[in-house]
Amino acid sequence: MASLLNNIAKPSAVILQLSVVFGVIFVLLKVAQFCRERKKLIKALEAFPGPPKHWLYGHSHLVRRQLGSIRVGLSQLLGKISARM
């Protein structure tokens, strides 16, 4: 009985292993394709002026402005609360 179950389970395990291997190969090929396209786009666009490539460096002035307005808002709120007490 056990040998019958082993004979039935072996082909499905092989199919599962092959599908996992093909899936990993597919993902690796897509990552390589993405990196190649990204390099090609960066090289094509480096002649144009613009913010730095990293999103934080390009938007740091917006982050600083928002943090400053939050600090001002908090100080005003705390001033109102302390005036009521």
53, 42 contact by CB (below 8 A):
yes
Same domain, 41 and 65: no
Q: How do the pLDDT tens digits run along the chain, 85 residues long?
A: 556 556 666 777 788 889 999 999 999 999 999 999 999 998 988 888 776 666 655 666 666 666 666 666 666 666 777 776 6
Interatomic CA distance for residues 38 and 43, integer angstroms: 9
Same domain, 29 and 58: no
Same domain, 57 and 41: no
- What pTM was computed for the model? 0.48
29, 37 contact by CB (below 8 A):
no
Same domain, 11 and 31: yes
Helix (H) or strand (E) holding 74: helix 55-84
